[in-house]
Amino acid sequence: MIILAATPIGNLGDASRRLVEVLGDASVVAAEDTRVAQRLLAGLGVANRPRLIPLHDHNERDRAAELVELARDGDVVVLSDAGMPTVSDPGFHLVEAAAAAGVGVTALPGPSAVLTALAVSGLPTDRFTFEGFLPRKPGERASALSALAGERRTMVFFESPNRLAASLHAMADAFGGDRRAVVCRELTKLFEEVRRGPLDELAGWADQGVRGEIAVVVAGAPVRAADPAAALDQVLALVASGTRLKDAAAEVAEATGLGRRDLYQAALDSRR
């Protein structure tokens, strides 16, 4: 089968015992960077020297069929440079091809920059969304952030140190400079840093230059005080367009934070 193996995001001590065992038995390893994979094997003290096949953004679609066929005869271990393959890293198209071909896929859970950043951020963790890397071009980045301006869940982004300041300024423009955020730098490494503050303040800090691997966690949009009369009008408009009253009340309640039952009853009363 295909084995997606999570690798340390910084500290080699975070490697699981299962990872060491699987790499010790592996005959084929598909790696985002074979040089990084060789250093990982050496760092973990794995004497095994499996066949290493490059699997990165530029060749994954071409290599997927070959790796799926190899996985019919034996396990193929998939490694990204750090963390879990497929999460902002190669592996998705391979898993897609394996699922279509009826080849099994499993995962060795382990370190995740997304969950680590979220956990240490101090921002709500009950509901969150992972947005990966923002577009490089300013216009596309602004559009992407504008679409997220009303997102109520905590948001997690990856960013390169060279673009961090520009992205934080763009977030401040889209979300408001006072929106709470956290920049997590070099997680699990010697110079780990977790810096919290409003977006305006973090953008000014990043203007001075930042190095290392970066994850940014941003608080979701605050709940705005809703106007009950306007919300009732929305419910009635939905009903007039053919939506059931129960569904209309639920939809507007979700959008406004008002009580579903209160909106439902108000709509019934308005008909009398």
- For the chain, the three-class secondary structure string (H helix, E strand, C coil) is CEEEECECCCCHHHCCHHHHHHHHHCCEEEECCHHHHHHHHHHCCCCCCCEEEECCCCCHHHHHHHHHHHHHHCCEEEECCCECCCCCCCCHHHHHHHHHHCCCEEEECCCCHHHHHHHHHCCCCCCEEEEEECCCCHHHHHHHHHHCCCCCCEEEEEECCCCHHHHHHHHHHHHCCCCEEEEEECCCCCCCEEEEEEHHHHHHHHCCCCCCCEEEEECCCCCCCCCHHHHHHHHHHHHHCCCCHHHHHHHHHHHHCCCHHHHHHHHHHHHC
pLDDT mean across residues, the chain? 95
If asked whether residues 45 and 77 sit together in one domain, one would say yes
Of residues 230, 217, 238, 239, the one with CA closest to residue 257? 230
Assigned token pair, 133: 């890397």
Residue 7 lies in a domain: yes
Total number of domains constituting the chain: 3
Please tell me whether residues 18 and 93 are part of one structural domain: yes
Q: Residue range 179-191: average pLDDT? A: 97
Which pLDDT tens digit goes with each residue over 227-272? 888 889 999 999 999 999 999 999 888 877 788 999 999 999 888 7
| pTM of the full structure | 0.81
What is the domain range of residue 260?
A: 228-271
Same-domain status, 198 and 163? yes
- Average pLDDT on 125-133 reads 96
Evaluate whether residue 36 is within a structural domain. yes
Q: Among the three residues 108, 129, 151, which one is the final residue of a domain in this structure?
A: 108
The per-residue pLDDT for range 88-104, each reduced to its tens digit, is: 999 999 999 999 999 99
State residue 53's pLDDT score: 98
Residues 48, 31: Cα–Cα separation, whole Å: 15
CB-based contacts of 150, cutoff 8 Å, min separation 6 = 221
Residue 191: the pLDDT is 94
- Measured CA to CA, the distance from residue 190 to residue 186 in angstroms comes to 8
* Domain limit, last residue, from 81, 108, 135: 108
pLDDT beyond 80 at 225 = no
Residue 41 pLDDT more than 90? yes
Same domain, 123 and 99: no
pLDDT (tens digit per residue) in 151-171: 999 999 999 999 999 999 999
Query: Are 81 and 45 in a shared domain?
Result: yes
At position 104, the amino acid (one-letter code) is G
φ, ψ dihedrals at 177, nearest 5°: -65, -20
Predicted confidence (pLDDT) per residue in 133-151, tens digit = 999 999 999 999 999 998 9
